[in-house]
Each structure stands twice: as structure tokens, then as C-alpha cells.
A = this chain, B = another copy of it.
Amino acid sequence: MKAILLLFLLLAGTIATAQTNNTIEKKKFHFGAEQDTSAGYAQAVKVDNVIYVSGTVALDITPASIKRLYQTIERSLAAFGATLQNVVKENLYTTDIEAMKTHNEARKKMYKGDYPAATWVQISRLYMPEAKLEIEVIAHLPKK
């Protein structure tokens, strides 16, 4: 009886260990901290050779604010040794897609003629009520 209980505990322990072993190694980038514990997110998370960059925000849609937004994305990528060249996918959410189309040259300049796959949608609002533009990207690093 005791032997069966012991065997059970041993097996249970093995299963628990197996699950624990699926923990992954993530590297995070945020501004002046590892992550934002108030809103509960990290500006960028790297796993394997993939970097997921959170929606990065601009309060208005002007060439200057678009440039600043992409510079923030660049800074997030640079933390892992990547640049906008490493971006393969972009999702753009805006409350005013016409304004974004008007100032797209400011965005295109940042990519230096090497564009990712992209989807743009106009939505009702963003996390901050006054924000007008939010862009998230997926970037890949070379495989070791």
C-alpha cells in the first residue's frame, strides 16, 4: 500500500517536473525597467529568434510623431541587436486612417525602401483615450 502511494507521488512529481520544464526563456525590453507592472505588459519580448514589439503609440498623426513612434520601435529592436530591417510584419491601428495615408511618407522613410507585410485598420479608440496611432511589429533575428 505504501509502495503504491510512493509510486503515485513519484509519478505525480515527474509530471509536475515535466510541466515545469516547458518554461521558456524570454528576454524583455521596456523603458527604464524590465516591464510595465502598472498596465501589465513589456514593450518588447524576445523568444527564440523572434521579437514581439507591443503596440507603440502616437498621440497625433504628423510626420514628426510618426518618426518618433518608429524611433521608439527602433530602440526596442536595438535592445536585441535588431533594426527595422528585421521587421517582417506590421499591424497598424489608427482612429484616422486617412491622416496616416496622408503622412505615410514619414513611415516609409523609416523602412528605407524595405517594407514588411502589413495590415492597417481603423478602430474606435486606443488604450489612451487621446491616442490616434498604435503600431506593433514582429521581427526576426538570424538563427544561430
Q: A residues near B, CB below 8 A?
A: 18-19, 21-26, 35-37, 39-45, 47-50, 52-55, 81-83, 85-86, 88-91, 93, 95, 97-98, 101, 104, 107-108, 111, 113-127, 129, 134, 136, 138, 140-143
Contacts and interface: CB of A to CB of B under 8 A. Distances in A.
Majority secondary structure, A binding face: mixed
Across the A-B interface, the 8 shortest Cβ-Cβ residue pairs: A55-B119, A41-B118, A52-B117, A52-B89, A40-B108, A54-B117, A122-B125, A122-B124
A17 B91 CA distance: 30
- Complex copy number for this chain: 3
A23 B36 CA distance: 29
B40 A107 contact: yes
B117 A126 contact: no
19 contacts: A18-B81, A22-B86, A22-B141, A22-B142, A24-B85, A24-B86, A24-B88, A36-B115, A40-B107, A42-B116, A47-B88, A50-B140, A52-B88, A52-B116, A54-B118, A55-B118, A55-B121, A120-B126, A121-B134
